[in-house]
Amino acid sequence: MDFEVKPTGSGVGAEIIGLDVSRPIAEATRRALYDVWLDAGILVFRGIGTTPERHVALSRCFGDLDIHPVESVRIEGHPEIIELTTRGRNTPIVHYIDEAPIVGRIPWHSDMIYTTQPCRGALLRMVEKPPRGGETGWIDTAAAWDALPPAMKQRIEGLEARFDYVVNILDMRFGKPTGLRFGSMGTQNWGSFPPVAHTLVWTHPESGRKSLVLSPIHLIEMVGMPREQGDALLQELIDHTLSGRFTYMHDWQENDVVLWDNWRTMHTALGTPLGLHRVVQRTSLQGERSVGRVLA
């Protein structure tokens, strides 16, 4: 292989060492990278995302890229890349954590879980790192499933939970950050989505591995189960999954790129202190998978 694979040290994910993105990536290298990603779920590339062109070239090793429907968040010349920035034209959402104002705090979630077509994955590149804050974390929910007791696995397979599109994290029912209070919702138009039901366990269509489906931001309740009983079950699963045993927290450096498999992970953005600036760029991988069902 034209690269080395190194454990992240957290027990989940892997770091890719020595990959040369200054020239076209050979097909054999692309296939090898894809296989490592399928096995690890989360890949870390330190310092190689020095240009949008290299970001896109690396992204295409893992699939076709989505074009974001909102043109204003795309970067010029690269419609595959969106930019997420504290310098955006919209006033950002602000919350307070222990009385400190935070921009961009997003608790644990899987992308587009509130639809029946969650995206395949994404690659996030740090363009401008703030002097404080801005960390991102990932949880391998396949590892969390593997670690469940057999009786719990048998109990939850086939059960469904309801997921809603929740914009204000104060409305979360599970996993709400401690010390959280409201600041302002900003000026972005977030749209709306109908509620959906997903099974608590997914089987990955490529690897065959099972994983837990939780996404606490959007998780509302169990389907077809009394609220108190369902809440107790969901809280037990969340406590298990968010215990830290299955988590990788990335301390960004500029030009780092992190790739994740959205079909078997959750991620969180810890946010940036108000007044500091953070700029990241992101590509999203297309996926044809349809799961779950829309609830009336």
- Please state, in angstroms and rounded to a whole number, the distance separating the CA atoms of residues 88 and 197: 33
What structural domains does the chain harbor? 4-288 (3.60.130.10)
Q: Indicate whether this model's pTM tops 0.85.
A: yes
Count of alpha carbons within 13 angstroms of residue 151, beta-carbon side: 1
CA distances for 99 relative to 84, 102, 107, angstroms: 24, 9, 17
pLDDT tens series, the chain, 296 aa: 689 999 999 999 999 999 999 999 999 999 999 999 999 999 999 999 999 999 999 999 999 998 876 677 788 888 999 988 877 666 778 888 888 899 888 999 999 999 999 999 999 999 999 999 999 999 999 999 999 999 999 999 999 999 999 988 889 999 988 888 876 766 556 678 899 999 999 999 999 999 999 999 999 999 999 999 999 999 999 999 999 999 999 999 999 999 999 999 999 999 999 999 999 999 999 988 899 999 98
Fill in the amino acid letter for 44: V
Kindly state the tokens that stand for 33: 């990278």
